[in-house]
């Protein structure tokens, strides 16, 4: 049956009259607790000559059928800079099905303002829009959500069809490179009263980096603490250590609630993450552990353990198989059911280049979405984006063996902005790859560490 499923979606993909450069088909088989296939799901992504997804089709099939049936379809359009400008959601198949909703995105000439408008209904009428404003470095400054009411945009509280109050304003009051501090405010309600704020700060030294975020709510004219978290990255004796501590405000003091620690040595291809819940009198109660194994192209196996009275017990296992170029071919997930580890999910991917006669445009090189400078780098490296408006939320650095040697996120809310600086002094000399992910992108750039 597996072969029939893959063959069906491949024939279906190649029969479509699309201006495509490649087609990626993903088939997911789901097993029940009795070891029987429950159903199949499929996703097909069609990319243009620049590597951007222009069409995404969702498919579904049941065990008694050997063919995946298309259900929903999304089509995406981009501007000359590779930025998304139209996102259409089609009600169902066939190809001429109506659009149930769409998102239109506009950008200012300098790229600092991004307006995303949601339209829906039979006539695709305006429903709501979000206006996001950034500074010259692409860092978040403010956003506002407006609704189309009585023929005009209004920044007002609005009760939607589910009875929930929506619409909000958010802005950043302070963002200075000298103090590395940013305070983000969230406003809502009928009079846009202050509601929440997030106070983020970070410090980077030659040995470690610390990021801290304080969450507060506005009650009776004053800010009241609610949650606090810290993230500390360091390298000790060749082992990278990443610790996240979470606290809650209770009776006038901070109470530690949870801790996670991730460890990875430079000469090992295994990453270990441990998590605990805080007990009484500074007691730490273990809750979970994961071991991630890396190969040349990335993760090959991830094993999750849960803590029991008898110690650690395997609860979940995930494996990846790659082809010779680093593309994932197969992914399997086992989940514990009683005393047995049962296969629950199996995903098979197929990558099909479109025949030259099917391509309406000549292939062109994929744009360099970002690069690091200087390159080669000795200590500090700076991110530079080719296009404004990109805002990935995390980065990962891999060595030539496919192991993650360093990772991180944006400094608080807003993601990684153009001009973001990363400390690479702890990396040994050699060749590496940086991967940026989030905000609709997943891009890679090589660099050399001196």
Q: The domain that contains 376 carries what CATH number?
A: 2.60.40.10
Q: Is residue 209 part of a domain?
A: no
SS3 state at 316: strand
Q: Given its phi and psi angles, is residue 96 left (phi above 0), alpha (psi -120 to 50 degrees) or beta?
A: alpha
Residues 343 and 406 reside in one and the same domain: no
The tens digit of pLDDT for each residue in 299-312 reads: 899 999 999 999 99
Q: Distance (Å, rounded) from C-alpha 436 to C-alpha 249?
A: 34
Residues 323 and 385 reside in one and the same domain: no
Q: Regarding predicted confidence, which is higher, 356 or 189?
A: 189
Residues 6 and 78 reside in one and the same domain: yes
Q: Is residue 159 part of a domain?
A: no
* Mean pLDDT value of segment 361-390: 65
Q: Is residue 211 part of a domain?
A: no
Share of the chain above pLDDT 90, in %: 27
Residues 389 and 448 reside in one and the same domain: yes
Q: Is residue 26 part of a domain?
A: yes
Q: Is residue 400 part of a domain?
A: yes
Residues 358 and 377 reside in one and the same domain: no
For strands 152-154 and 140-149, give the pairing.
antiparallel
In the block, tokens 């302070």 appear at: 174
Q: Give yes or no for residue 292 having a pLDDT over 60.
A: yes
Domain final position from 365, 388, 407: 365
Q: Is residue 361 part of a domain?
A: yes
Domain final position from 365, 386, 407: 365
Our count of domains for the chain comes to 2
Residues 351 and 377 reside in one and the same domain: no
Domain final position from 302, 336, 365: 365
Residues 343 and 377 reside in one and the same domain: no
The tens digit of pLDDT for each residue in 224-273 reads: 999 999 999 888 777 888 999 999 999 999 999 999 999 987 667 889 99
Residue 159 to residues 69, 148, 166, 196, 361, Cα–Cα distance (Å): 36, 13, 6, 20, 46
What residues make up the domain containing 388? 368-450
CA 36 to chain centre: 32
Phi, psi at residue 186, to the nearest 5°? -115, 130
Residues 372 and 344 reside in one and the same domain: no
Handedness of CA 58, 50, 48, 14 (dihedral sign): negative
Q: Given its phi and psi angles, is residue 11 left (phi above 0), alpha (psi -120 to 50 degrees) or beta?
A: alpha
Residues 358 and 381 reside in one and the same domain: no
- Could you please report the per-residue DSSP string of 215-236? EEEEETTEEEEEEEEEEEEEEE
The tens digit of pLDDT for each residue in 50-108 reads: 778 899 988 888 765 556 778 888 999 998 888 899 999 987 766 667 888 999 999 99
Q: Is residue 240 part of a domain?
A: no
SS3 state at 401: coil
Task: Provide the pLDDT for residue 33.
Answer: 81
Q: Is residue 65 part of a domain?
A: yes
Residues 342 and 396 reside in one and the same domain: no
């Amino acid at each position: 049956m597996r072969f029939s499923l893959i063959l069906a979606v491949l024939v279906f993909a190649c029969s479509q009259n699309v201006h495509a450069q490649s087609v990626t088909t993903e088939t997911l088989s789901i097993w029940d607790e009795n070891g029987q296939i429950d159903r199949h799901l499929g996703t097909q992504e069609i990319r243009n000559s620049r590597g951007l997804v222009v069409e995404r089709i969702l498919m579904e099939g049941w065990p008694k059928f050997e063919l995946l049936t298309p259900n929903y379809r999304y089509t995406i359009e981009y501007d000359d800079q590779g930025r998304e400008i139209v996102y259409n959601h089609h009600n169902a198949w066939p190809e001429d099905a109506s659009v149930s909703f769409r998102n239109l995105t506009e950008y200012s000439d300098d790229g600092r303002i991004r307006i995303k408008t949601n339209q829906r209904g039979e006539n695709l009428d305006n429903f709501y829009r979000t206006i996001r404003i950034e500074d010259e470095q692409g860092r978040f400054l403010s956003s506002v959500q407006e609704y189309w009411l009585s023929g005009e945009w209004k920044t007002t509280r609005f009760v939607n069809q589910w009875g929930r109050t929506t619409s909000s304003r958010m802005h950043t009051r302070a963002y200075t490179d000298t103090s590395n501090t940013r305070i983000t405010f969230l406003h809502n309600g009928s009079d846009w009263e202050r509601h929440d704020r997030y106070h983020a700060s970070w410090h980077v030294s030659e040995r470690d980096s610390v990021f801290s975020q304080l969450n507060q709510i506005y009650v009776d004219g004053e800010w009241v603490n609610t949650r606090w978290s810290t993230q500390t990255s360091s390298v000790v004796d060749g082992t990278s250590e990443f610790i996240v501590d979470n606290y809650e405000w209770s009776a006038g003091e901070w109470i530690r609630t949870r801790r996670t620690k991730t460890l990875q040595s430079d000469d090992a291809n295994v990453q270990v993450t441990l998590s605990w819940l805080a007990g009484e009198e500074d007691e730490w109660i273990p809750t979970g552990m994961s071991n991630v194994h890396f190969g040349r192209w990335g993760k090959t196996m991830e094993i999750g353990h849960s803590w029991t009275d008898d110690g650690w017990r395997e609860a979940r296992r995930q494996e990846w198989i790659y082809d010779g170029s680093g593309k994932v071919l197969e992914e399997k997930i086992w989940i514990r059911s009683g005393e047995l580890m049962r296969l629950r999910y199996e995903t098979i991917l197929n990558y099909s280049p479109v025949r030259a006669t099917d391509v309406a445009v000549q292939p062109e090189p994929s744009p360099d979405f970002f690069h690091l400078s200087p390159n080669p780098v000795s200590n500090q490296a700076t991110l530079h984006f080719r296009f404004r408006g990109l805002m990935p939320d995390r980065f990962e650095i891999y060595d030539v063996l496919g192991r993650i040697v360093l990772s991180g996120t944006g400094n608080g809310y807003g993601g990684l902005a153009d001009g973001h600086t990363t400390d690479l002094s702890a990396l040994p000399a050699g060749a590496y790859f940086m991967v940026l992910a989030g905000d609709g992108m997943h891009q890679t750039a090589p660099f050399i560490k001196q």
